[in-house]
């Protein structure tokens, strides 16, 4: 599959699961249609032996816990990376109305890349996902969603800026990464 793993809380317990894959899966879940559902502990990449039935209690906030993952100081480097990524994505979903109510328009679909827009009266958001283990350059026709030549777009995850040219967005993504573009 494009993202690998599952979006039902078992992802990090799957053989071969990675932090990069978890971040891609959450980028998809939090920018596509529908009501996103995150299983407790996904925000810090928790696992369990027989997901989802054997996930332990979230570390912290309970008497006798050895650490408190509710705070930055209580999270590992990988846990903090996932936490910040999901925090950014959930903030974008709250801020950008098209991510909550916009119609979905598929713009580019291949075995390892996917680009789609969420379009509403309040704007357009274009999400691009690269699942390859190497960087990829993707040319996306954006005319179906009303983006015009010369418009500047900014990736709200990285700050990368690109311009619509010849009815296309020419997007370069790092290995196993996603971008969420809005009009600048």
Q: What is the pLDDT along the chain (184 residues), one digit of tens a residue?
A: 444 443 444 456 566 778 898 999 999 999 999 998 888 888 988 877 766 567 788 889 888 899 999 999 999 999 999 999 999 999 999 999 999 999 999 999 999 999 999 999 999 999 999 999 999 999 999 999 999 999 999 999 999 999 999 999 999 999 999 999 999 9
Q: What is the pLDDT of residue 53?
A: 65
Residue 165: count of CB within 10 angstroms of its CB: 12
CA angle, 178 as apex, 105 and 37 as ends, to 5°?
75
Model confidence, pTM: 0.86
Sign of CA dihedral 118, 95, 152, 132: negative
Radius of gyration of the chain (CA): 17
CA angle, 88 as apex, 65 and 34 as ends, to 5°?
100
């Amino acid at each position: 599959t494009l993202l690998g793993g599952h979006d039902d809380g078992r992802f990090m317990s799957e053989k071969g699961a990675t932090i990069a894959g978890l971040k891609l899966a959450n980028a998809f879940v939090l920018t596509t249609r529908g009501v996103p559902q995150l299983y407790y502990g996904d925000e810090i990449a928790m696992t369990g032996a027989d997901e989802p039935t054997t996930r332990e209690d979230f570390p912290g906030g309970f008497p006798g816990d050895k650490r408190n993952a509710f705070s930055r100081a209580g999270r590992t480097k990988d846990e903090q990376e996932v936490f910040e990524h999901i925090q950014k994505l959930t903030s974008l979903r709250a801020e950008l109305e098209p991510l909550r109510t916009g119609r979905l328009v598929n713009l580019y679909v291949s075995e390892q890349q996917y680009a789609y827009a969420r379009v509403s009266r309040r704007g357009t958001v274009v999400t691009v996902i690269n699942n390859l283990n190497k960087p990829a350059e993707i040319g996306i026709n954006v005319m179906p969603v009303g983006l015009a030549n010369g418009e500047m777009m900014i990736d709200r995850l990285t700050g990368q800026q690109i311009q619509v040219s010849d009815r296309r967005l020419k997007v370069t993504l790092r290995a196993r990464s996603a971008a969420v573009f809005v009009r600048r």
